[in-house]
Amino acid sequence: MKQKNFQRLAVLAALLASAASASAADWSDTYIGYRYGSSFAEPYEGNNISKNIVNLSNASGYSYGTNFFNVDMLLSDSKDPSAVGSTSGAQETYVVYRNTVDWSKLSGTPMKMGILRDVGATAGFDYNTKTDAGYNSKKRMLVAGPTLMFDVPGFLNVSVLALWESNAPYNGFTGVSTPRYHYKVHPELDVAWAIPFTAGVPLLFKGYGDIIASKGLDEFGNQTATETHIDMEVMYAINKSFNVGIEYEYWKNKFGNNASGPAGSGAFAKTPMVRAEYHF
């Protein structure tokens, strides 16, 4: 089966699985979030880009595991322009879906061992589209691999995932469209967590961290670099619906662009943010 057809079928299967499990969810948490920062960066463009980001997110548990879905809508300021010569900012949509199947739920046999609560398998996809002056990303990515679930308050999951990634960018400066290009299959170490704690008031420390190996040569023949991406936040629940907090994102060699190469400092972002969420 050609990879393009495989990707389409995998995405369709993930969407159907998500819809089916959501209809029979054991638990579900849906929220709309907003965050803002003024120190974002983009490869080849530089730093100190301001972005307003709105997201819709859902996490749910069902009879065989958990689902996670998130869509970010990112609005940049004019330092990341929407087109060549434009004074308006770029617009981007980034979608993430993950399904994790727990071995104990699937088999009916508890798998708790020492510090491990369970083991399982994770699969899903990333999808993005961006309208900007330079790259106009159209990323498509499938992910799959094993997951370890640690026995902590809340959750702490560690996954080793294989990534099948492609892109089909359009350069607004040259007017050149690049046919869809498939990178080398490459591994990712992914850590995701949400751990409650108390510091005078009850708080929640949550986030994710990814170390992504080089994906070989990019569509222009440049060697990609190992990517480190950590996004973490501390949230306070004002009531059952409203959460507020602070967030910090560390992103070195963004999208595999080497921050020590032509992509420059724009491939290395260190971004504090303020964040708010409405759960319903």
Out of 20-34, 68-82, 201-215, 247-261, least confident range = 20-34
Q: List, in order, residues 6 or more apart from 57 with CB less than 8 Å away.
A: 30, 31, 32, 33, 68, 69, 70, 71
Contact (Cβ atoms closer than 8 angstroms) between residue 122 and residue 145 = yes
Contact (Cβ atoms closer than 8 angstroms) between residue 263 and residue 224 = no
Answer left, alpha or beta for residue 160, where phi above 0 means left and psi between -120 and 50 means alpha: beta
Residue 209 pLDDT > 80, yes or no? Answer: yes
Sign of CA dihedral 184, 136, 75, 32: negative
Contact (Cβ atoms closer than 8 angstroms) between residue 22 and residue 105 = no
pTM of the predicted protein model = 0.91
Mean pLDDT for the chain overall: 93
How many other C-beta atoms lie within 10 A of the C-beta of residue 115? Answer: 10
Residue 17 pLDDT > 70, yes or no? Answer: no
Out of 2-6, 146-150, 185-189, least confident range = 2-6
Q: What whole-number percentage of the chain has pLDDT above 70?
A: 91
Alpha-helix runs per DSSP H in 40-102: none
Residue 1 pLDDT > 50, yes or no? Answer: no
Annotate 180-213 with three-state secondary structure. CEECCCEEEEEEEEEEEEECCCEEEEEEEEEEEC
d(CA 222, CA 92): 24
Residue 146 pLDDT > 80, yes or no? Answer: yes
The per-residue pLDDT for 7 is: 52
Query: Span 108-136, mean pLDDT?
Result: 95
Grade residue 110 by pLDDT with cuts at 50, 70 and 90. confident
| Domains detected in the chain | 3-279 (2.40.230.20)
Closest listed residue to residue 224, CA positions, set 190, 263, 191, 171: 263
Contact (Cβ atoms closer than 8 angstroms) between residue 254 and residue 34 = no
Q: List, in order, residues 6 or more apart from 56 with CB less than 8 Å away.
A: 30, 31, 32, 33, 70, 71
Query: Span 127-141, mean pLDDT?
Result: 97
Q: What whole-number percentage of the chain has pLDDT above 90?
A: 88
The per-residue pLDDT for 111 is: 85
d(CA 47, CA 43): 9
d(CA 103, CA 116): 12
